Amino acid sequence: MMETVSTNRAFGGVQGVYRHASAVCAIDMTFSVYVPPHAPGAELPVVWYLSGLTCTHANVTEKGEYRRLCAELGLIFVAPDTSPRGDGVADDPEGAYDFGLGAGFYVDATQQPFATHYHMWSYVTEELPALVAAEFPADMARQSIMGHSMGGHGALTIGLTFPDRFKSVSAFAPIVAPSQVPWGQKALSGYLGDDRTAWRRHDAVALIEDGARIADLLVDQGEADPFLAEQLRPDLLDAACRAAGIPLTLRLQPGYDHSYYTISTFMEDHLRWHSARL
């Protein structure tokens, strides 16, 4: 059962925030959906947006500046949360921002206490798409996926895992090789344990090395991003795509950082990229 938290008119469409009881996360989950103006009975393509560390659905909903373009292009825009939340949901014992609440990393945790609720992979790839298909005028044969930072990691790994489902994939400042950087090593070991072979299906560079393929890929990365050298490493994705023959449009943007000022600046380019492939 889906509960409507709020709706607002925007560019002729409806921006909604919704809540439902998630079976896979065993807690209520909140997400946002923008439905553009459309003819009665029409089914519209869907763009999934996965957010980064510390974020909820609200960050892109309030700062992403996507609605005008989605209205123009006829795209449904879906923004899930980044982790389960609520009473009894485990968090980092030291309250760190890069693990636990707000940092689900789009995996299904196997390590306790996180295995009880942290099933963001199944939530984003199975449960929420079924709900969107049932409740909104969505053409699930036409889907694309994008994300920022940790959400860029999620978009890449999900897109590479389900290339027949997602017609296009893009990312802003993604964590491309979590097995090789501190954010990813902390999250993958904490959620999945120390067996690094289990990490590979949640690492975009490793997935490409292991044979995963997509038609092409768009990535925007700010050159003034403070996380660029240590955590994001787009050079590793570039090398993997070159070796695999995957066309990668990697745009290094001078002066841009890791914030939603950057995302909102290049959001139009990404939505037009997806629309052309949907």
Catalytic residue numbers, as ranges: 149, 225, 258
CB atoms within 10 A of CB 84: 25
Estimate the share of the chain in helix, then strand, then coil, as percent rounded to the nearest 5.
40, 25, 35
CA distances (Å), 120 to each of 82, 97, 226, 256, in order? 8, 17, 27, 29
Give the residue carrying structure tokens 């005028």.
137
Task: Return d(Cα 244, Cα 159) in angstroms, integer.
Answer: 16
Side chain identity at 212, as an amino acid letter?
Answer: A
Backbone angles phi, psi at 92, to 5 degrees: -60, 130
Q: Strand 44-50 vs strand 27-35: parallel, antiparallel, or unpaired?
A: unpaired
- The vertex-249 CA angle with 196 and 124, nearest 5°, equals 50
Q: How far is CA 43 from the centre of its chain?
A: 22
Q: List, as one string, the DSSP characters of 67-111.
A: HHHHHHHT-EEEE--SS--STT----TT--TTSBTTB-TTSB--S
Task: Return d(Cα 269, Cα 158) in angstroms, integer.
Answer: 21
